[in-house]
């Protein structure tokens, strides 16, 4: 396990547009999201990940590769078994991109809401008036 590597991966994803492309593309498939939901409960082998999905092992492997390339999943091969685990740092960096955009809009809507609430009250001073 390379907990120390998270910082590097996080920086990498935030700096590179193509990395965000890969993360969101990986998340856009319901089968891959099912795999991530399973990995949320703990590491799993490739065949375990494929069990609830009605697809060939080759297709499962391909999905795992897309998840690994995106940085959402790390894999480690011991003997004949490849164990997958979810990399929370990659999810976090994609969430940050989203929450930054959302935050700007929400703050503006809040200010608009405050302004409308004030102007609804006929006793309230008009914007720009000194209290």
Residues that bind a second copy (CB under 8 A): 3, 17-18, 20-21, 24-25, 27-30, 33, 36-37, 39-42, 85-86, 88, 91-92, 94-95, 97-102, 104-106, 108-109, 113
DSSP state of 28: T
In angstroms, give the least distance from the CB of 107 to a second copy.
10
Minimum distance between the CB of residue 72 and a second copy, rounded to whole angstroms? 9
Query: Can you tell me the distance from the alpha carbon of 70 to that of 72, in angstroms, rounded to the nearest whole number?
Result: 6
At its nearest, how many Å lie between a second copy and the CB of residue 3?
A: 7
Q: How far is the CB of 113 from a second copy (least distance, A)?
A: 7
What CA–CA distances, in Å, run from 29 to 3, 24, 63, 75, 122?
Answer: 27, 9, 9, 19, 52
Report the residue number, 39 or 46, with the smaller CB distance to a second copy. 39
Sign of CA dihedral 73, 76, 81, 85: negative
Residue 61 or 85 having the CB closest to a second copy: 85
Of 48 and 97, the one with the shorter C-beta distance to a second copy is: 97
- State the virtual CA torsion across 106, 111, 117, 123 in degrees, nearest 10: 170
Q: Which is nearer to a second copy, 7 or 40 (CB)?
A: 40
Indicate the helix (H) or strand (E) that contains 58: helix 57-70
């Amino acid at each position: 396990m390379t907990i120390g590597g998270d910082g590097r991966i996080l920086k990498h994803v935030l700096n590179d547009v193509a990395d965000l492309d890969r993360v969101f593309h990986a998340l856009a498939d319901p089968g891959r999201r099912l795999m991530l939901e399973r990995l949320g409960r703990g590491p799993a082998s490739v065949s375990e990940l494929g069990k609830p999905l009605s697809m060939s092992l080759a297709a499962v492997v391909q999905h795992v590769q897309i998840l690994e390339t995106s940085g959402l999943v790390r894999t480690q091969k011991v003997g004949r078994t490849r164990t997958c685990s979810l990399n929370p740092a990659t999810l976090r960096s994609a969430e940050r991109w989203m929450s930054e955009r959302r935050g700007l809009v929400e703050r503006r809507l809040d200010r608009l809401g405050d302004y409308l609430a004030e102007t609804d009250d006929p006793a309230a001073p008009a914007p720009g008036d000194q209290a």
